[in-house]
Amino acid sequence: MIQPLTSPRTEAASPLIRIENLEVSFSGFKAIRGLNLLLAPGELRFLIGPNGAGKTTLLDVLCGKVKPSKGSVKFKDKIDLARHQEHQIAQLGIGRKFQAPSIFSTLSVYENMLLAVKQKRGIFGALFTSSPPQQRARIRHYLEMVGLAHKETAAAGSLSHGEKQWLEIGMLLSQEPELLLLDEPAAGMTDSETGKTGELLQRISRSQTVVVVEHDMEFVRQFAQIVTVMHEGATLREGTMEEIQNDDKVAEVYLGRRTERHDEG
């Protein structure tokens, strides 16, 4: 069986991501202002906050979709992400999943995974060239991990919404990134699917760092290890969910408001 990429979780370990004095401006509007953030290897970090707090913009910076106006974003303390394009950042080991699943509906679950593993070859090359045993083992390992091994021959379009989300997470995992960026992975799921998704994220974080933007506060309460509360483009508070819930400032600007899922502006 293929073993997942491992990163020992110790207090002495260097941060996987180090963000210092980050600013992002759009036509004069500061979406992020003076943000400082450290992400440790093997961490499950949830980002919460009101609409427009800068959460999705932060993910955009980490994956290279948006470039900083000021400040620095370092990966493994030496790689300046601002100097790299999206495809280069993906190759460095940072995977991004957007809220809506992006899969090939007419292809099987296994074929979708195969495309993710052989992404440099194109669709024809990926599907019609033989795969070495190690590659097939890697695919089946991650299908087991996301709970879809029993559906590897099913058309991806026949999956439930939750299963499609798990498939896309599996496709990301098959590329073995060190950092996964997930935007509301449980949105639109049933209660059962939401619980399974939280458990999956906890399993992934045993070997990889996971950052989740989330609006469902019950989901955050159940599965978050560390929570960063963002407000007006900066960090308002950071800590365990218990610490966040007991913080008066957080309650004033966010937790006291509506907590159902909604799209970020």
pLDDT digits (tens, 9 = 90+) for 14-58: 899 999 999 999 888 899 999 999 999 999 999 999 888 999 999
Closest CA to 58 of 23, 103, 6: 23
**What pLDDT is attached to residue 70?**
94
Buried b (16+ CB within 10 A) or exposed e, 94-130: bbbbebebebeeebbbbbbbbbbbbeeeeeeebeeee
Judged against a pLDDT cut of 80, whether residue 184 lies above it is answered with: yes
**Which residues have a Cβ under 8 Å from the Cβ of 100 and sit 6 or more positions away?**
none
Classify residue 70 as exposed, middle or buried by CB count within 10 Å of its CB (0-12, 13-18, 19+).
middle
8 Å CB contact between 113 and 121: no
> Which of the four pLDDT bands, split at 50, 70 and 90, describes residue 129?
low
**What is the SS3 assignment for 199?**
helix
Judged against a pLDDT cut of 50, whether residue 262 lies above it is answered with: no
In terms of C-beta distances under 8 Å and separation of at least 24 residues, what long-range contacts does 247-255 make, across chains too?
Answer: 253/50, 254/48, 254/49, 254/50, 254/229, 255/217
Judged against a pLDDT cut of 50, whether residue 100 lies above it is answered with: yes
Alpha carbons 244 and 226: distance in angstroms, whole number? 9
Q: Which residue did the predictor score with more confidence, 224 or 6?
A: 224
> Which of the four pLDDT bands, split at 50, 70 and 90, describes residue 12?
low
Q: Which residue did the predictor score with more confidence, 259 or 156?
A: 156
Average pLDDT over residues 78-106: 90
**What pLDDT is attached to residue 105?**
93
**What pLDDT is attached to residue 132?**
66
**What pLDDT is attached to residue 256?**
57
Alpha carbons 73 and 221: distance in angstroms, whole number? 28
pTM: 0.84
**What pLDDT is attached to residue 6?**
36
**Which H or E element spans position 220?**
helix 217-223
8 Å CB contact between 220 and 241: yes
* Structural tokens at position 37: 């953030």
33-42, 125-134, 163-172, 189-198: lowest mean pLDDT where?
A: 125-134
